[in-house]
Amino acid sequence: MGVITSAVKAKLGVFIDSPGERCFIVDETGTVLSHDAAFAVLTRLALTSKPGMVLGPASASLAFSMIAEQLGSRFVPTKITPGAVLRAAQHAETVLASDSVGGYCWPDFAVSFDSIFTIARVLELLAKTGMTLGSLRSRIPEVAHRTAVEFCPWEVKGRVMRTMMERHLKDRVDLTDGVKVFVDDGWVLVAPDADRPEYYVIASTT
């Protein structure tokens, strides 16, 4: 896909999954963007055209808040599940919402993940702004973002959350999904897996 996109000098390339909800995006240089990078690129593209609110999972990196602030807008975290992202996307100020794994929702069109409309909207915004995906990719803020998965027996998962809250009573925290503690120039999120005896430990900083 990347070779073809660059060879024909296309503005972008897109690989769509079979339900048509999620996609991989390729920029004009033939670079296949990771889902996080693609979401960051579309966040800047959408907010450049129309300032407002972008929604994504609480696990999304610090880069999204930085992009939104640069453009006089807001990045609002949601619970990590795709359904939670779509429910939150019904807010009137939402410009774009994503589950960070290739699903993009444009609420002014429909509150659902739609790859076909994403292609149309991206082409429209690229034409309107005169930008390229490659130039937008180069402007993604550099952050350190790491995820670890830790085993945690079912019977103590609740205790982990209570302990986290007790130890950070005086700190700035976000409880959108799990416990996110803001420290120095970033944050650490501890979030339980709903279906497995595991915890996600995610850290993001500049």
pLDDT of residue 9: 80
Residue 157 and residue 88 share a domain: no
Does the pLDDT value for residue 124 go beyond 80?
yes
Residue type for position 198: E
d(CA 194, CA 185): 29
Q: Check pLDDT > 80 for residue 1.
A: no
Number of domains in the chain: 2
Instruction: Tell me how far apart the alpha carbons of residues 23 and 38 are, in angstroms, rounded to a whole number.
Output: 10
pLDDT over 90 (residue 194): no
Domain of residue 121, residue span:
2-137
Tens of pLDDT, residues 146-175 = 999 999 999 999 999 999 999 998 899 999
Q: pLDDT for 3-54, tens place per residue?
A: 788 778 888 899 998 888 999 999 999 899 999 999 999 999 999 999 999 9
Do 59 and 189 contact (CB within 8 A), yes or no? yes
| Average of per-residue pLDDT across 88-106 | 95
CATH number where 180 lies: 3.30.310.50
pLDDT recorded at residue 106: 98
Section 80-108 average pLDDT:
95
Return the amino acid letter for 178.
G
Residues 68, 152, single domain; the answer is: no
pLDDT digits over 57-72, tens only? 999 999 999 999 999 9
Separation CA 27–CA 64 (nearest Å) = 19
Are residues 150 and 48 part of one domain? no
DSSP helix/strand/coil, 159: helix
Domain end marker among 93, 117, 137: 137
Mean pLDDT over residues 92-121, rounded?
A: 95
Predicted structure pTM score: 0.91
Phi-psi label, residue 83: left if phi above 0, alpha if psi -120 to 50, beta otherwise = alpha
Mark whether 109 and 174 lie in a shared domain: no
Query: Residue 2: is its pLDDT beyond 90?
Result: no
